Amino acid sequence: MTAFASVVIDVDSTLCGVEGIDFLAERRGPAISVQILALTDQAMKGEIPLESVYGHRLTMIKPTRDDIEALAAAYEQSVAPGAAESIAAMRSAGVRLALVSGGIREAILPVARRLGFADEDLHAVSLHFDEHGSYASFDASSPLTNQLGKPELVGRLIASGLLPRAVLGVGDGMTDAKLAGTVDTFAVYTGFARRPTVAALAALEISSFSVLARTVLGARG
C-alpha cells in the first residue's frame, strides 16, 4: 500500500525548471522582463496576491502562438531529473496523479502528454488568440488565476472522488502552499528553487522526483 493515493504536482519550477511567464517576458526584452520577474517573485513569495498581477503580466507581454510553442519546447527541455521515471513508478503503483498549474495550458500540454498525463488530468489556464495568432485574452473564469485557486480546484477534485485520499500536494510557490488546508499533506519542492516562506508552511521538503517517489510509495529517505 502506498503512503499516498493521489499526488497533485505543480509545473513551473517543480515538474519543469521554467517559470513560463518569465520565459515569455524575456522574449520581449530586458525592460519588460525586469518588471515581470519582480512581479512573479513577489507573487510566488506571497507578498502580493496572484490575481493582482495575472492578467496584467499577460497584457504587458501579449504572447503569440509562436511564443507559446517556444515555451512548450522549453518545458520539454527542462523536465526535472528523474521525473519521467518517478511518475511512471507512482502511476504503476496505482497512485492518481494530476498536474495543477497557474501556467498556460497550451504550453504545458505537450510535456504533460509525453509524461503520460491524460488531457483531463492537466489543470491550467487557457489563452485565446485572434485569427493572426496574436494574444487576445485568457480564461479569467479559471480559479487558477487567483491566490486561492489551487485549493478551490483541488478541493472539488477531492470531493468528486477524482483525487482519492490521502492526497499529497507538491509545489514550490505560495499558491501551492495554500493547498496545505485542503490536501492531507503539503510538500515544498526545492529541486529548482527554495523559498523559505513556502518551506515554513510545508510538512515535508522534497528535493527531487526520486525522493518524491520514495515518499509516495512508502519508502521515505
Q: What is the DSSP string of 46-108?
A: TSS-GGGTHHHHHHHH---HHHHHHHHHHHHHTBPTTHHHHHHHHHHTT-EEEEEEEEEHHHH
Expressed as residue numbers, the domain containing 147 is 6-216
Query: Is 221 among the domain residues?
Result: no
Q: Are 193 and 176 in contact (CB under 8 A)?
A: no
Grid coordinates representing 218 are: 512508502
State the pLDDT at residue 92.
97
Rounded to the nearest 10 degrees, the angle between the axes of helix 209-216 and helix 83-92 is: 10
SS3 label, residue 137:
strand
Query: Is 39 among the domain residues?
Result: yes
Give the mean pLDDT of the chain: 95
Domains held by the chain: number = 1
Q: Locate the DSSP E strands across the chain.
A: 6-9, 96-104, 122-125, 127-129, 135-138, 167-171, 185-189, 204-206
pLDDT at 221 over 50: no
Query: Is 79 among the domain residues?
Result: yes
Question: Whose grid coordinates read 498581477?
Answer: 53
pLDDT tens, 73-85? Answer: 999 999 999 999 9
Query: Is 101 among the domain residues?
Result: yes
Return the active site residues.
10, 12
pLDDT tens, 128-183? Answer: 999 999 999 999 999 999 989 999 999 999 999 999 999 999 999 999 999 999 99
Query: Is 131 among the domain residues?
Result: yes
Query: Is 1 among the domain residues?
Result: no
Grid coordinates representing 71 are: 515555451
CATH number reported for the structural domain that contains residue 136 in this entry: 3.40.50.1000
Q: In which band, very low, low, confident or very high, does the pLDDT at 219 lie, cut at 50, 70 and 90?
A: low
Query: Is 47 among the domain residues?
Result: yes
Query: Is 58 among the domain residues?
Result: yes
pLDDT tens, 86-116? Answer: 999 999 999 999 999 999 999 999 999 999 9
